[in-house]
Structure 1
Amino acid sequence: MTRALLVVDIQQALIDLEPTNKDTYLAKVDKAIAHFRERGEEVIFVQHTEDDGELLALNSKGWQLYAGLDVRKDDKIIRKYFNSAFRKTNLESYLKEKAIDQLVVCGMQVEYCINATLTVGFEKEINLTVLSDAVTTYDRDNMTGQAIMDFYNQTIWPNFAKVIPTDRLN
């Protein structure tokens, strides 16, 4: 199996909005990126793009990948316009080209882009792992961000992905 780390939508504007467990979350993402780099495994970044005037408008300050991430010149960056990193992007063809058949996923936002990307990846028969402590979201009117993360990590994703904390990466 050839695997890669898929880092979804960790962009400046989203971090500025203070997601749940922001500092711990970012530390776990950094640890995952370092883990993959140490092993010579690929790190792929996904960057959500919206229309002009919106939070993640193309080329805006908020649209940029979070400055604290270890993004390197040769890293693959997938620009997406929908919740799923697969919809109308070249992610699937890139994975095939590189013979990547396993994705370890981290990033934002649990109930939107992470869940959609995992669901579509499952349909495409990709072996999936979610880093339970390297995903985040925001509090909602009716549910805390932590409760949302717990729900997906404990109830939804184990049905089609391996769910582990970053410390259990091998």
Structure 2
Amino acid sequence: MDEHRDGSKTALVIVNMQQGVMDYCVHPKKVVSRIQELLVRARDTGTPVYWVQDEREFERHSLAWKLTAGLEQQEDEHRIFKSYRDAFTGTGLHASLIAQDVGRLVICGAQSDYCLRTAAGRAAAMGYDVTVVRDAHTTGAETFEGQSLTGDQIIAHTNAYFAGLDYPNQDFLLMRAAEVTFAPVTVND
């Protein structure tokens, strides 16, 4: 495990909110609405925003690859293209966060049990403080080895996992979208 990241800023990281993913997720309208609220607060305070998009499953610029309806990236926001569940592997995410002086990540998006959980867990192991937005992530039903889980069960399990996450000298929070605040970013002369 890396040591605690001392960056002074917070970043909003939005994972896999792509049309091809959201077609199979539960509560898509509620999750999109909550992410829209987070975006407004992040943008109003100058908080860096990172959009993570999967390019392993979806061809770039295809309908499935594009952000789901209701979400739009602004020109000054970061876009991270990934080929693995882990948003840090083979991407410039970590280097960009360091360059932006980020030490805390607020993470939301899809799929709770795969890409969101992997990104948040990896960020924690790399020393970032992590807030998972408990009501702004989603996934679909899954069956593995004859066991089936609903999307809601997977979301609840993901939240339970992050509610108990603990590393020395780091903060891990599980918050509702309405509870998340972003401090105004100041520019030092």
**TM-score w.r.t. length of structure 2:** 0.83
| Letter aligned with residue 162 of structure 1 | L
What RMSD over aligned residues (CA atoms) do the two structures have, in Å? 1.2
The correspondence for 1:8, drawn from 1, 15, 20, is: 15
The correspondence for 2:173, drawn from 159, 162, 168, is: 162
The runs of 5 or more residues in structure 1 that have no matched partner are none
Superposed CA deviations along residues 77-97 of structure 1, whole A, max 9, x for unmatched, are 000000010011100000011
Shift of 1:68: 1.6
In 2: Cα distance, 1:21 partner to 1:145 partner:
9
Matches within 5 A, 1:69-88: 69-88=71-90
| 1:56–1:63 CA contact under 8 A, matched in 2 | yes
| 1:105–1:131 CA contact under 8 A, matched in 2 | yes
Greater alpha carbon shift after TM alignment, 40-49 vs 59-68: 59-68
Percentage identity across aligned positions?
26
Matches within 5 A, 1:126-137: 126-137=128-139
Shift of 1:12: 1.5
- Greater C-alpha Rg: 2
Superposed CA deviations along residues 111-165 of structure 1, whole A, max 9, x for unmatched, are 10011111111111001000000000002241111111111102x1121431000
The runs of 5 or more residues in structure 2 that have no matched partner are 1-7, 167-171, 182-189
- Give SS of 2:174's match: strand
1:33 equivalent in structure 2: 39
Q: Which has more helix, going by share of residues?
A: 1
Runs of 4 or more consecutive aligned structure 1 residues displaced over 2 Å after TM superposition:
none
**TM-score w.r.t. length of structure 1:** 0.92
